Amino acid sequence: MPTNYEIDNVDLKILEVLMKNAKKPYTEVAKMVYVSGGTVHVRMKKLEDMGIVEGTTLNINYSKLGYDITAFIGIFLSKSALYDEVISQLKMVPEIVSVHYTTGNYSMFAKIYCKDTNHLKDVLYDKIQRIDGIVRTDTMISLEKSISRNMQLEG
């Protein structure tokens, strides 16, 4: 793929439609954007090759599967040079769904799902806090998710 491919308004419109419903067939997307289905397919392939689109995911309502606790963990490292070692260990904790390397108070910020407070305690004490390089954690339990959306793209 040429490295000089630039994103245009057609690409942005395609992304906008698919961000609302990633299951929408390309033929329907094409009708909404006023291009052919083949154009949508080619454009999406280019966006994937460029790393702009990184696959597709399902949005899961974890509470309906028995995971009633959503928590955010601020992680303090003994030194930032341990980041790679710590992140490789955190990847082994299935309850962790995302980790960000951050500025500010925390070295890292993680999101986890747990079934209840006992499960949360076990994840914190038996899995996360036992990792070499982690000196302390701060835990915040989410009471409600009020906003969950994709960012609006401008074109």
- The pLDDT value recorded for residue 153 is 83
Task: Spell out the residues 6+ positions from residue 153 whose beta carbon is closer than 8 angstroms to its own.
Answer: 12, 15, 16, 19
DSSP codes of every residue in 77-127:
ES-GGGHHHHHHHHTT-TTEEEEEE-SSS-SEEEEEEESSHHHHHHIIIII
- The pLDDT value recorded for residue 4 is 63
pTM (two decimals) = 0.81
Share of the chain above pLDDT 90, in %: 81
Cα separation, 79 vs 75, in Å, equals: 11
Residue with tokens 């094409």: 30
Q: What is the pLDDT of residues 47-69, one digit of tens each?
A: 999 999 998 888 899 999 999 99
Task: Tell me how many degrees the CA angle 138-143-144 measures, rounded to the nearest 5.
Answer: 125
- In this prediction, the residues of the chain whose per-residue pLDDT falls under 70 are 1-4, 155
Cα separation, 90 vs 112, in Å, equals: 11
Complete domains list, the chain, with CATH? 9-49 (1.10.10.10), 62-141 (3.30.70.920)
